[in-house]
Amino acid sequence: MSLEIKNITVSVEGKSILENFSLNIEKGEIHALMGPNGSGKSTLSNAIAGHPKYKIERGEVLLDGENILPLKVDERAKLGLFLSMQYPPEIPGLSITNFLRTSVSSLKGKKQHPIQFHKDLLLCMKELGIEKQFANRYLNVGFSGGEKKKLEILQLSLMDPKYALLDETDSGLDVDALKTVCEGIKQFANKEKGILLITHYNRILEYIQPNFVHILINGKIVETGDKNLAVEIEKNGYKKYI
Ligand SMILES: Nc1ncnc2c1ncn2[C@@H]1O[C@H](COP(=O)(O)OP(=O)(O)OP(=O)(O)O)[C@@H](O)[C@H]1O
Ligand SMILES: [Mg+2]
């Protein structure tokens, strides 16, 4: 069982960003993806999730054997795919409670009972150190960078997908928030889940030990290693690849 990205070519606004890109994420594996700004990391995660601007011209993405490319974003999510966005959007008028209850109901194909759901939500929020007043706030509106990232992990916990693409979930977090968010990710991660963790920093990988670290340069994986590779990148940067 895996999320298998097979020879995909992705273009954005007519510009080719990834060519013949392949990566296989087995259940139970955590893959970290590092690379300089603009190397194509978010393009990869957006394209897999089904963002309409990111066109997969060739190749396949198989989720437990099923090609998800013909599917719409919500259909991919229903199969168990989750994207934590680098820049989560603000949606005025949509409360967090309504958003999450509707999303979980839709994903599970079963209406969530408002009272029970609220209880579960508050419990999850407490674990992530999110104050309960946030439940009534509009989605991401006026949230600090770190609060938005915590909310992404709250969604991850409640939606409980099979495969999670986490795009810079560690960015903008203070030291304590990073620990809390990592606890959330660790609780989610188990042998039934596959994770792609996009990051610029080794710090998060000290909490969440990846099985593999990949270096993406200009849309291509140029090296794959273990967590020591992330340590080396933090020390020496990407100059040896460029
Ligand atoms: N919606 C878009 N419209 C135009 N160009 C885009 C768009 N999205 C990505 N690109 C271009 O594709 C290239 C790869 O961008 P991408 O966001 O995937 O990089 P990244 O590796 O995630 O960088 P960062 O580390 O800064 O987040 C960049 O040159 C970027 O300008
Ligand atoms: Mg990015």
Query: What pLDDT tens digit does each residue of the chain (242 aa) get?
Result: 999 999 999 999 999 999 999 999 999 999 999 999 999 999 999 999 999 999 999 999 999 999 999 999 999 999 999 999 999 999 999 999 999 999 999 999 999 999 999 999 999 999 898 999 999 999 999 999 999 999 999 999 999 999 999 999 999 999 999 999 999 999 999 889 999 999 999 999 999 999 999 999 999 999 999 999 999 999 999 999 98
Label each residue of 105-173 as H, E or C.
HHHHCCCCCHHHHHHHHHHHHHHCCCCHHHHHCEECCCCCHHHHHHHHHHHHHHHCCCEEEEECCCCCC
The ligand that comes nearest to the alpha carbon of residue 166 is: 2
Q: Could you tell me if the CB of 17 is within 6 A of ligand 1?
A: yes
Which single residue is written with the structure tokens 């960015």? 171
Q: For the domain that residue 198 is a member of, what is the CATH number?
A: 3.40.50.300
Which ligand 1 atom is nearest residue 216's CA?
21
Q: What pLDDT score does 101 carry? A: 97
What is the domain extent for residue 96? 2-241
Q: Could you tell me if the CB of 12 is within 6 A of ligand 1?
A: yes
Determine which residue's CA is closest to atom 27 belonging to ligand 1. Answer: 37
Euclidean distance between CA atoms 211 and 206, whole angstroms? 12
Which ligand 1 atom is nearest residue 43's CA?
18
Tell how far the Cα of 12 is from the centroid of ligand 2, in angstroms.
Answer: 13
| 39, 56, 220: residue to mutate for ligand 1 pocket, most atoms within 8 A of CB | 39
Q: What pLDDT score does 119 carry? A: 95
The structure tokens listed for 104 are: 């979980």
Tell how far the Cα of 54 is from the centroid of ligand 2, in angstroms.
Answer: 13
Sheet holding 30-34, edge to edge: 81-84, 163-167, 194-198, 30-34, 212-217, 220-225
Tell how far the Cα of 197 is from the centroid of ligand 1, in angstroms.
Answer: 17
Is 1 within 8 Å of 26 (Cβ atoms)?
yes
Tell how far the Cα of 37 is from the centroid of ligand 2, in angstroms.
Answer: 7
Q: Could you tell me if the CB of 45 is within 6 A of ligand 1?
A: no
Tell how far the Cα of 86 is from the centroid of ligand 1, in angstroms.
Answer: 11
| 9, 15, 83: residue to mutate for ligand 1 pocket, most atoms within 8 A of CB | 15
Q: How many folded domains does the chain comprise?
A: 1
